């Protein structure tokens, strides 16, 4: 009986050695996304181009804008990446062209939608701003836009808190702060007339965005 029991325990031990441990799932990071990697590598390749003086920096809302045509200015560069976060922007600042004199930033909605606190987003934002200020590049902060009805969940109150922090910071540091939300989301929910998916913008929204910038002499 002892031999049988010993044999059983030995077999159990061997089988335990062959048990595969479950793989740990790595936390989501925009830096692991193929589209981000492709765009970042392209931006790095083009970073020596000295043609551009203004850069639009952000996520898909920036990425989808044809800025040189919208602003009728061939010196405006698009450096938006769909899905990007403040952390992702920090990791690609080294690809900003040395000829840039002015940056328009809109980032943060993807952080909020993925559960990052507005406090962390704000701290990352300050690091991004400092990078440009240290290089004497004019910074224009554009408020993070509210989300539409089908996606809003509890995100819009966090977006509002982030924008309050950004606006206060901008005022204290004499940085221009542009808030398009009163136009696109007067009730703090992105209007259906400006979007097809409650997140991204249609042509009418970009047109109003451009009109706002031009009124401010940009």
Cα–Cα distance, 82 to 143 (Å, whole number):
17
pLDDT for 10: 46
pLDDT for 152: 77
pLDDT for 12: 46
- pTM for the structure as a whole: 0.86
Give 112-157 pLDDT, tens digit per residue: 999 999 999 999 999 999 999 999 999 999 999 999 998 878 999 9
pLDDT for 197: 96
What CATH fold (topology level) applies to the domain 30-215? Rossmann fold (3.40.50)
Cα–Cα distance, 176 to 41 (Å, whole number):
30
What value does the mean pLDDT of the chain take?
Answer: 90
- Tokens found for residue 17: 């050695």
What share of the chain has pLDDT > 70, as a percent?
A: 88
Give 102-113 pLDDT, tens digit per residue: 999 999 999 999
What share of the chain has pLDDT > 90, as a percent?
A: 82
Cα-only R_g, the chain = 23
CB 144 within 8 A of CB 189: no
Residue range 10-25: mean pLDDT, rounded = 49
CA angle 42, 180, 74 (to 5 degrees): 40
Task: Categorize the per-residue pLDDT at 23 as very low, low, confident or very high, splitting at 50, 70 and 90.
Answer: low
Q: Indicate if the pLDDT at residue 13 is higher than 60.
A: no
């Amino acid at each position: 009986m002892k031999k049988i029991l010993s044999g059983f325990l030995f077999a159990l031990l061997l089988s335990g050695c062959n048990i595969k441990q479950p793989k740990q799932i790595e936390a989501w990071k925009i830096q692991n996304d193929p589209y981000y990697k492709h765009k970042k590598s392209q931006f790095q390749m083009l970073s020596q181009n000295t043609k551009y003086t203004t850069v639009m920096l952000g996520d898909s809302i920036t990425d989808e804008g044809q800025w040189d045509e919208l602003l009728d200015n061939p010196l405006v560069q698009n450096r938006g990446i769909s899905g990007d976060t403040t952390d992702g922007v920090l990791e690609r600042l080294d690809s900003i062209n040395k000829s840039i004199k002015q940056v328009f930033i809109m980032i943060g909605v993807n952080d909020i939608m993925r559960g990052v606190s507005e406090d962390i987003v704000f701290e990352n934002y300050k690091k991004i701003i400092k990078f440009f200020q240290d290089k004497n590049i004019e910074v224009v902060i554009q408020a993070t836009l509210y989300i539409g009805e089908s996606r809003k969940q509890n995100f819009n109150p966090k977006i509002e808190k982030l924008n309050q922090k950004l606006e206060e910071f901008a005022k204290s540091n004499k940085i221009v702060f542009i808030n398009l939300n009163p136009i696109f989301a007067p009730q703090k929910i992105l209007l259906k007339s400006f979007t097809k998916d409650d997140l991204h913008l249609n042509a009418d929204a970009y047109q109003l965005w451009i009109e706002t910038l031009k009124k401010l002499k940009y």
